[in-house]
Amino acid sequence: MLLNNFFRWSLPGLAGIICTYGRAQNSDTIKNYLIEEVMISATRTEKKILEIPRSVTLITKQEIQKSGAINLAELLSHQENFNVIGPNQTPGTNQSFFMRGISGEQSMVMIDGIRISDPSSVNNAVDLSEISLIGIDRIEIVRGAHSTLYGSSAIGGVINLITEKGSIPGLNMNLNIDAGMFGKGTGQLTENLNLNYTFNNGFYVNGHLFRSDVRGLDAALDTVTTEGVFKNNDRDDFRKTDAVARIGYQGNNLNVYMSYKNASQFSDIDQEAFINDENNKVELSRDLLNYGIDYKLSENMHLILNGGGSIVTRTNENDSSLISAIAYDRNYYKGTFKGSLFNNELQLNYDRENTKIVFGGGAYYEAMTSHSYTYSGFWNYESETDLDTLDLHSLLFNAYISADISGKIISNRLDALSLMMGLRFNSDNRNGKYFTFEFNPYYKLSGKSILFASLATGFNSPSLYKLYTPEVYYTSGITRGNPALEPEKSLSAELGLKQLIGHNLVLTLSAYQNTLMNSIRYVYLWDSEIGLDTVGMDWMRDDYRGDTYLNLGRMTTRGIEFSLWTMIGNKITVKGNLILQQGSLEYMPDDIDISVTRGHHVQLYESGKFLDQQAKIDRLARRYDCFNLYVGYQIGKSSDLALNINHTGKKDDIFYSMMIMPFGALDTRLLDSYTLYHLSFRQQISKSVTLSLRIQNLFNKSYTELLGYSTRGRGFYLNIGFSL
């Protein structure tokens, strides 16, 4: 099925790659990576880290290995300006993120330039617990609006996981076994096997296998202290297996690869915050096929073909649950959701001394379907829905151009001044035609300092669920899905400075603001003939008129990012970042599309406010100020010690409250700040064997990451690595 769809959608438009082939690492040292290493994701062409006029982060293979993280969420939680939800809870819990205060559905996650999301989910966002770090060579992160180069959802930024390609000739092997615990009665065993055989003529074959088995915590927080009250608490376990196969060729003028990945996982989950459920399970599988071709036409021109696609299937089954020591609630639910996406692009890079130009274009296709069955034994009621016949899909064609031009073209006196600018044309079968742009001037104050500014627009297409889900309320005929939804659009501005002081200190500072317009919100509708003072208060009449999604309001996020890296002598490395941010949401009654609401009262689900007048939310939930500090000490040639400190500031979290009348809605509660300390020791036993010990949450701090859910206590992990 994947192959059929892949080849079907590989023909219409083919799209530029971010990185289709591996680069030899100059050195494994952090110093060299910061100063000399290059990134591609920020500009779609090679550029040194300190010369990129955007806020970027490069995470090397060495840093990934030392982190001990088993998935992307755990790794990102220590990175600059990421608010990650879930990595400190029991494994298998849904893990989402905010990037510069922008949600994960409005930020792009890619593997080798191919977007990873779940088109069958409500928000078309990816659960980061799905993405293991198997076979990842490096991760490139670009913060800020990047839709001109990458299209829909790249408003908060872009995360690109670049996989391993060829290696030194011969057989190369790496095996890691990681075992640990993170609370009473818990356990985690993870195995990661990487194989590579590279031939002398440039051909290579890779194979990767990842497996993790977890005996977890009880995910929902137990707050019941009354004696004699029945509890059905259970441990929420997690199992995950990933397998990857890749073939490729690396030559002087030609680099080609094709890869296939299968990811599958099983999670025990609870019903919701504070409420346990011992029979609620989620199974997920994804088949991912990627390919890339990079051909050097001449010294100055590269032709790059990149594409791929994935099919994800998610099944949620909730069997009858215990409500007393001997009785079940006699309810059953099973839902199967399938999403597919295919992205293919063709790109031409032109590179001269003072000019870099990127041309590209392609097509992006996504589709979803679902089938669900519900049975209630108490009411003797059953229902079934099937979206197969609706053919829910979207197709977007695009063309883009980006140029990086030195002022030296005009005059030698303008050598220090450069300008990056780009334009993207989008043609969407749902939303018509529209453009995005970016304007990015920068000035080299010296050979070690760069001042930059950026003004960029972005967009995020509505998910297929929000557009077309057919649930309808019987009295009004209004469907939950709203085909009239328009893309969310943004305007992002940034001013930044990067400074290298001597050879051992790098400082970066950025100030940014992002304004998101046409923000899509979930709302309740109430009978317009009933006054707001009494609507929904008379239980003998039905004032409710259904629920739907609307383009409503304007969200503004702004903040300051500061980071540093330094080496003290030859043994101590210090890295840190500090993030201060704030945001607000503003709604105007004039923004309501009355052709959809039919003039009925509109109530926001996220706060319970009625939009009869202007409304404003001054603080955005689950965004917080934070800082991260890493101190590494090289004990000798074969061992090192590291301390990580992660501080999470106070934040508002959301919970569903029946007290918000008349129907219940989301409320907020302020959570306390907390600081976690993590200690790790690494010893090179021999050329082929490495031993690592990690202690997470060193002081066994009690804290709340997500309201109503438990968090991990002190964790001990032992890792043994074998290489050949």
Are residues 128 and 85 in contact, defined by beta-carbon separation less than 8 angstroms? no
Give the model's confidence band at 669: pLDDT under 50 very low, under 70 low, under 90 confident, else very high: very high
Distances from the Cα of 409 to the Cα of 2, 103, 418, 451, 486, angstroms: 48, 40, 10, 20, 41
Domain holding 355, by residue range, is: 2-723
Q: Kindly report which listed range (247-251, 283-287, 500-504) carries the lowest average pLDDT score.
A: 500-504
- Provide the domain count of the chain: 1
| pLDDT per position as a tens digit, 536-579 | 988 889 999 999 999 998 999 999 999 999 999 889 999 999 99
How much is the average pLDDT of 401-429?
94
d(CA 176, CA 190): 8
Question: Hey, is 66 helix, strand or coil?
Answer: helix
Span 337-345, average pLDDT? 96
- Highest averaged pLDDT of the listed ranges 46-55, 67-76, 236-245: 236-245
Q: Which residue has the tokens 């206590």?
A: 713
Pairing of strands 544-551, 554-568: unpaired
Single out the residue of 584, 713, 648 nearest to residue 84, CA to CA: 648
SS3 track for 327-371 = CECCEEEEEEEEEEEEEEEEEEEEECCCEEEEEEEEEEEEEEEEE
For residues 646 and 149, give the distance between their C-alpha atoms in angstroms, rounded to a whole number. Answer: 32
Q: How confident is the model at residue 34 (pLDDT cuts 50, 70, 90)?
A: low
| Count of other CB atoms within 10 angstroms of residue 192 | 23
Per-residue pLDDT tens digits for 365-383: 999 999 999 998 877 889 9
| Backbone angle region of 432, left / alpha / beta, with phi > 0 → left and psi within -120 to 50 → alpha | left
| Residue range 194-233, pLDDT digits in tens | 999 999 999 999 999 999 999 999 998 876 666 666 677 7
308: pLDDT strictly greater than 80: yes
pLDDT value, residue 22: 32
Report, as an integer, the average pLDDT of 474-488. Answer: 95
pLDDT at 446 over 70: yes
Q: Residue 15: what pLDDT?
A: 31
Cβ neighbours of residue 327 closer than 8 Å, sequence gap 6 or more: none
CA distance 426 to 361: 10
Q: What per-residue confidence (pLDDT) applies to 378? A: 77
Work out the percent of the chain whose per-residue pLDDT is above 90. Answer: 78
What pLDDT, on the 0 to 100 scale, is given for residue 104?
Answer: 92
Between β-strands 417-428 and 203-215, what pairing exists: parallel, antiparallel or unpaired?
A: unpaired
Instruction: Among 72-81, 378-387, 636-645, name the one with the lowest average pLDDT.
Output: 378-387
pLDDT at 26 over 60: no
Q: What is the DSSP string of 453-468?
A: EEEEEEEEPPPHHHHH
pLDDT at 379: 78
Residue 655 has pLDDT above 80, yes or no: yes
User: pTM of the prediction?
Assistant: 0.92
Question: b/e string for 368-385 if b means 16 or more Cβ within 10 A?
Answer: bbbeeeebeeeeeeeeee
The predicted pLDDT at position 226 comes to 61
Structure confidence at residue 8 as a pLDDT band (50, 70, 90): very low
> Residue 150 is part of a domain; what is its CATH number?
2.40.170.20
Angle at 690 between CA 573 and CA 217, to 5 degrees: 85
The average pLDDT across 691-696 equals 96
